[in-house]
Every structure is written in structure tokens, then in C-alpha cells.
A and B are shown apart, each in its own frame.
Chain A
Amino acid sequence: MPPPTPLSPPELSYLFTSLSLSPPIRPDLRAATQFRPIIAECSFLPHCNGSSRICMTEAGECIVGIKAEVEKDTTSKYATVVEREKWIEISVEVAGGGASGPGSGVGVGGISGAGGAAGRDEGDGGAAVWLKEGLLAGGAAGWSILDQLVISKGWHWKLYIDVLLLTPTSHPSPLLLSTAVNMALDSTYMPKLTSPHDVDDIPTFSDDWAISVPLYDPSSFPRPPMSLPVIAIGDNVFLDPSVAEVAAAEVGLVVTITLTDSAGSCDIVGVRGMEVGRGGGKEGERKGINRKLLRKMVTACVTEAGEVIKGLGEATHKQMFRA
């Protein structure tokens, strides 16, 4: 597969001008904050605690399976954060792509600098690293997913989150991966503990899945995090940019947020830069980003994302509990 060909200069300049108009004209006539429809289903994999499958235009198809394993807590009471972070393992694989997949060079989703040295080794360009980062960032008041993984004294769950991108020739957007992980986490259920909490013995579980416990309690907050790509062209901010729009963008961010209440307000848990094209300028000339625009981009995510995460959660639960 040859590397994705760059857009031709007339194409780029046409796109750039269209998108910097006021109001902007997107090639598919979407509103600036409108997402493209997605196809989603969850908990369809047997032998997984939670799973999801997402299809998006351009980005292709992706499945996520989450498995939990009981592990003896090897960390002492002086457990460092780093040790506890090993309780969650994320791997991102491109089907059939291997080392030559599109994710190998620039990183899946084109997120720059994700993971640094650690990310480079994994062959996925660090997608696993930023996914995990968003997951661990938790929420307000020191809430952390890791606390949910504690079973009893000395025992904890180890989560394996396996992301498989089924369409290796597509342009995987961070939205695809994070939506899939979000939905899988939302549909993850753990067997109910039947042994007492405060005993050191090997824990025992109920084998009745009807009384299993959700990892993320549907009625509690924060919900699982989600990363939204956002780009800016001129003073216009666009959510869910298409590949061509990213190529024409001046600046791109991936904003990770979690839902914090039922009204749909959000917490920002992470912001990363995203690789974008060269905008309207010449090769090598790239505009910086000013604070006002940065704020505008993040605000756009926060105001729109609440609805999106909520909608996704509702769709998940509808599928989980359908008759």
C-alpha cells in the first residue's frame, strides 16, 4: 500500500478557503459541530467482559474486547502510581497490517508525541498510550478507574483492553478508537464478589451473570472518557474532521473528556496535539495557535461532547438490556 497521497495544491486551497469562510462550508455540508453517523454495537463477543464494534465512514471498522483477570496484588501499601497503572493493559492492533500498517509511521490517528519512547516500541505509534492516559486520568475529586479494579485486600482485577482495527487501509481517527473503547468499557461487567472484602484469601465470585457488577456504574459519574479530534481553520472550529479537512487544517487537537453529571457537563482530562496538514500556507510554514483559539477549540469539545457521550451511553445501555 503506498502512503496516502497528499492532496493537490488546488484541492487544498479550495478546501482551506471554503472552511475559513463565515459561515464555513464543509465538503459534506455538515455543521461545524456535527458528527458523522456511526454504526455501533456492544457486548457481542463471547468470553469478554465487555466488547464493542464501531464503524465510521473513512475511519473504517474497529472492535474492542475487554477481559478481566484476577491478579494478586504485588504492590505493597507503598504502591507507586506506576505499578498500579499496570493493572490496565491496552493493545492496539491493525488487522493484517503488522509493521507496515498505516499506524506504524505516524501513529494511529496521527497524534503527535504520544507516549514518547514507550509508545514507539509498540508499533501502534502510541495509540495505546494516549488511550490509557485518558483512562487513567480519572475525574474530579481524585476518582480513578484503578480504585474500581480493587477486589479485596491483596487482590485486584487486571484489565486487558484489546483494540483491533479491521480496516488497515483506512484513516483511523482518534474518535474511532476512543469511541470503541468508551463503549466497550461502558458495557463491561464483572462477576459479583461473594467472599468478604477484607479477607486476604483467594476471592470467590458468583457465577450468575445476572447480578454481575458494571465496571462503570451507569448511574454514577464520571463516565468512561472519550477523545474528540478537533481542528481549527482561521477562526472556525470543526469537530469530527474528515481526512481532507485535517489535511487543510491549521491546528489540530485531541481533547479527552469525561461526563461528570447527568446534565451533560464534562471534565477535560487530557489535551494532545494532532498532526495536521499545512493549512493554507506553504510547505514548512505553519501558523501557531493563540490562546483564544485554543480555548475556543476546547470549549467546542466540552459543549458538544456531553451530548455525544450521553448518547453513546444510552445507545450502549439500550443494546445491553434489550429484551
Chain B
Amino acid sequence: MPLQIIAPAPFIEAGDDEEDEGGVRLDLDNEGDTTMDGDAPAHRKSGRQAGGIVTPGEIVTDDPQWMRGHGTYLSAPTADGNPQSIVSSLAGTISKTNKLLSIRALRFRYVPEIGDLVVGRILEVQTKRWRVDIAAPHSAALLLSSINLPGGILRKRTSTDELQIRTFFSEGDLLVAEVQTLNSDGQASLHTRSLKYGKLRNGVFMTIDAGMVRRMKSHVLTMNTSNGGGEVDIYLGVNGYIWIAKHTTPLTEGGAESKSISITRLEEEASEAIYSNVNEEISPETRAEIARIGCVIRALVKANVKIDEEMLNLGYEAALEEFLEGFDWGSDTEAGRRVVDLALTKRRMG
């Protein structure tokens, strides 16, 4: 059938039979206090085990020995002198560090950090800067002075550049950049002052949850694909934005016979071409492999497996094996699951 209909997951009542688990309950009045059985059930429910999931507004503990950390707040003081309880402000898991209680959110927005490689989309063009969507709580800023301006290395920006701002990036354009600075609100300022960064072409864009990208040494991967696909670049933005594109020989190597051309020369060559909006010729084979890599990423994320270079390679291999057995991503919804299982088995085997 061309359409698959899935029944919703059944609603599971939270059972109360979790007491025999090894975790430490946080709501014991004192260590070894055994009056629990006589306590009101509401009280017993109010305490949660470390590792359990809490929701916003839920009381984590009312034991004063704990300190409140990220993702929690103290409830309003009560008149009758009862101790204030620590309440969760996020939906997530409890983590304990000595006596500090914090909640790690299950899903969260990307929080920029200096040096992160991010993929972003231009939201707005302003007079001397761009506003860039990087999936963070605030949109990031990209200053005209922190991009590669054509026509020479690191020259100062001029009023001509200001007038031509839209020839570099305009609304909707995708770019890869690095977080340069953060201001006090956590708003990021980006830069693309390296030939590694800049406008993105020749590929497809996809988004995943920011938490699903594992931080790695390098977030730009190049994969050798089979079926005549050639090399494919994957820009795994730390912010969960991903660009999968045909591998392009960096402009540093193009043109000149000798690879050791001067930096100045290289910048000149890079000049206009880096802001072009025209794709290269991309073969259908490459397109198919790009789409396959995209599907692998989606399948991994669906199965809650963090994305890193190893997983991606294993996943891709697994997808190829399944492909040889004649399966089809489109109609077979179990395919993703199988690929992930296969990839995980491979990782375990080493």
C-alpha cells in the first residue's frame, strides 16, 4: 500500500512498582527513614529517582540537603515553615553531582559556544550585517567585516561592499560558519573568514535535533560513496543543521599548477566564485548517494543514535548492504530500523 498508517503508542500509566530498583530515592526524609509506607501516597510520588524523567512543575525533592542546579527552581516558601522544595523547570532526566541536582533536558535548543562549526540560514539583511538563523534561542549576527570579501586577503570593508551586501548573502542563503564571539545574552556572532567556510552549494539541507550531533574534532566529513557517487561532503553543524553536498575541490587547489600558491593569490582566485549561486554539474549517481546519506541520518536520529563520523560511515555501509538486497527506503518503513540495527551491530563487532 502506498500509505502506512501507524496506530499511536499506547498510553502507559506510570506504575508505582519501581521501588525495588537500585537507584536512590531522593525523597527519604532522613537516611533510613522507614515511615514511607505510612506516608501519604502523594508525598511518595513527589520524590523521583535519579535517572527518571521529570516534567516542568514537578517536585523533584523537598529534602533540604539538596542544592538546586540548572533546570530547577525553588518553590514558593510556605507559611507554615515547611522547607521549600526543588521543582523542575524542564522536561528531562535528573542528574546528580554530589549534592547538586540538575535537570538535563530531553530536547533543547542549540546553545552556541565559541569555535562551533554551524550551518545557518540568512534571515535578514541589515546595513552592515546579516541576521542568521542557527537554531539557537537568538539568531546570530554575521558582520560584513567578518566575511571573506572578494579581491584580496582580509581587506577592510568599504562603502561599496556595504552597498553590495546582497551580492554576498541574501535572505534564505545557507552558509557554514564558525562562532566567533558570544555576547552576554548568549547571542552568537559568526565569521566565515576562512576558505573552509562560506556559502553552501551543490547539495541538500536537513535539520535534526541539536543534541543528536556528537561533538567531534572536525564537523566537515568527506565520504567516499559507492555506485559511482564519488565523494560527498557532509557539514554536520553542531546546531543540528546539516548540509550534504557533492565534494568540491577547495579553491585552494584549483587553477594554479603549483599547489603552493601564495595566500594572496588564492584569495583573489576565490574572490567572486565563493558567492556564486550556481550549482556545479552533479550526476544522478551522486544525487542518489546524497539522498541515501540523508536517509541514513534521519534513520539514526529516529532511533536516537547520536551522529558522528563512525556511526555515519557504518550506517551508510549498512544502507548499501540493504540496498544490494533490493530494499527500498521509500516504501519500506522498517528499512531505517534495520539499517540502524545493522550499523550498531557492526560498531559492537568493531
Is B a genuine binding partner of A?
yes
**B-binding residues in A (CB < 8 A):** 2, 5-11, 13-15, 17-18, 21, 25-31, 33-35, 37-41, 53, 55, 239, 304, 307-308, 311-312, 315, 319
Partner of A25, one of B1, B201, B288: B288
Asked if B202 lies at the interface with its beta carbon under 8 angstroms from chain A, I say yes
Q: How many residues of B contact A (CB 8 A)?
A: 41
Given A34-B331, A41-B7, A307-B1, A29 and B172 contact (CB-CB distance below 8 Å): no
**Complex Cα–Cα for A26 and B206 (A):** 13
In the bound complex, residues from chain A placing their C-beta under 8 Å from that of B5 are: 37-40, 311-312, 315
B69-96: CB near A (< 8 Å → 1, else 0) gives 0000000000000000000000000000
Nearest neighbor of A35 in chain B, beta-carbon distance:
B3
Q: A13-B279, A27-B291, A39-B5 are in contact. List 11 more A-B contacts (CB 8 A).
A: A2-B123, A5-B123, A8-B121, A11-B205, A14-B204, A17-B287, A28-B295, A28-B330, A29-B330, A33-B2, A40-B6
8 Å CB interface, B1-51 against A = 1-8
In the bound complex, residues from chain B placing their C-beta under 8 Å from that of A40 are: 5-8
**Complex Cα–Cα for A33 and B329 (A):** 13
8 Å CB interface, B196-230 against A = 199-206
Interface pair B1/A8, CB less than 8 Å apart: no
Interface pair B295/A14, CB less than 8 Å apart: no
- What's the minimum C-beta distance from A54 to chain B, rounded to whole angstroms? 9
Given A18-B287, A39-B6, A39-B8, A29 and B329 contact (CB-CB distance below 8 Å): yes
In the bound complex, residues from chain A placing their C-beta under 8 Å from that of B288 are: 25, 29
> 17 A–B contact pairs at CB < 8 A?
A5-B122, A9-B277, A10-B203, A11-B204, A14-B202, A14-B203, A14-B279, A15-B204, A27-B294, A28-B295, A28-B298, A28-B329, A28-B330, A39-B8, A53-B8, A308-B1, A315-B7
Given A6-B172, A7-B172, A26-B291, A31 and B6 contact (CB-CB distance below 8 Å): no
Interface pair B3/A308, CB less than 8 Å apart: yes
**A-binding residues in B (CB < 8 A):** 1-8, 121-123, 133, 171-174, 199-206, 277-279, 282, 284, 287-288, 291-292, 294-295, 298, 328-331, 333
In the bound complex, residues from chain B placing their C-beta under 8 Å from that of A8 are: 121, 172-174, 200, 277
- What's the minimum C-beta distance from B26 to chain A, rounded to whole angstroms? 34
**Complex Cα–Cα for A38 and B200 (A):** 32
- What's the minimum C-beta distance from A229 to chain B, rounded to whole angstroms? 13
**Complex Cα–Cα for A41 and B282 (A):** 43
In the bound complex, residues from chain B placing their C-beta under 8 Å from that of A7 are: 172, 205
Given A8-B121, A11-B204, A40-B6, A34 and B171 contact (CB-CB distance below 8 Å): no
Partner of B292, one of A29, A30, A33: A29
- What's the minimum C-beta distance from B82 to chain A, rounded to whole angstroms? 36
In the bound complex, residues from chain A placing their C-beta under 8 Å from that of B204 are: 11, 14-15, 27
**Complex Cα–Cα for A39 and B10 (A):** 12
In the bound complex, residues from chain B placing their C-beta under 8 Å from that of A315 are: 5, 7
Interface pair B6/A37, CB less than 8 Å apart: yes
- What's the minimum C-beta distance from B64 to chain A, rounded to whole angstroms? 38
In the bound complex, residues from chain B placing their C-beta under 8 Å from that of A34 are: 2, 330-331
Partner of B331, one of A10, A31, A304, A311: A31
Nearest neighbor of B175 in chain A, beta-carbon distance:
A8
**Complex Cα–Cα for A309 and B23 (A):** 49
**Complex Cα–Cα for A312 and B278 (A):** 43
In the bound complex, residues from chain B placing their C-beta under 8 Å from that of A39 are: 5-8
Interface pair A6/B171, CB less than 8 Å apart: yes
Interface pair A5/B2, CB less than 8 Å apart: no
Partner of B278, one of A10, A11, A29, A31: A10
**Complex Cα–Cα for A17 and B174 (A):** 18
Interface pair A21/B287, CB less than 8 Å apart: yes
**Complex Cα–Cα for A15 and B173 (A):** 15
Partner of B174, one of A11, A304, A319: A11
In the bound complex, residues from chain A placing their C-beta under 8 Å from that of B174 are: 8, 10-11
- What's the minimum C-beta distance from A132 to chain B, rounded to whole angstroms? 24
Given A5-B121, A8-B172, A239 and B2 contact (CB-CB distance below 8 Å): yes
In the bound complex, residues from chain A placing their C-beta under 8 Å from that of B121 are: 5, 8
Partner of A17, one of B200, B282, B328: B282
In the bound complex, residues from chain A placing their C-beta under 8 Å from that of B200 are: 8, 10
In the bound complex, residues from chain A placing their C-beta under 8 Å from that of B277 are: 8-10
Residue among B2, B7, B331 with max Cβ neighbours from chain A (10 Å): B2
Interface pair A25/B284, CB less than 8 Å apart: yes
**Complex Cα–Cα for A308 and B5 (A):** 10
Partner of B171, one of A5, A10, A28: A5
- What's the minimum C-beta distance from A321 to chain B, rounded to whole angstroms? 14
Those 9 A-B pairs whose CB atoms lie nearest each other, nearest first: A30-B330, A29-B329, A37-B4, A35-B3, A6-B172, A9-B277, A10-B201, A315-B5, A31-B330
In the bound complex, residues from chain A placing their C-beta under 8 Å from that of B201 are: 10
Given A15-B204, A28-B330, A10 and B279 contact (CB-CB distance below 8 Å): yes
- What's the minimum C-beta distance from A271 to chain B, rounded to whole angstroms? 20
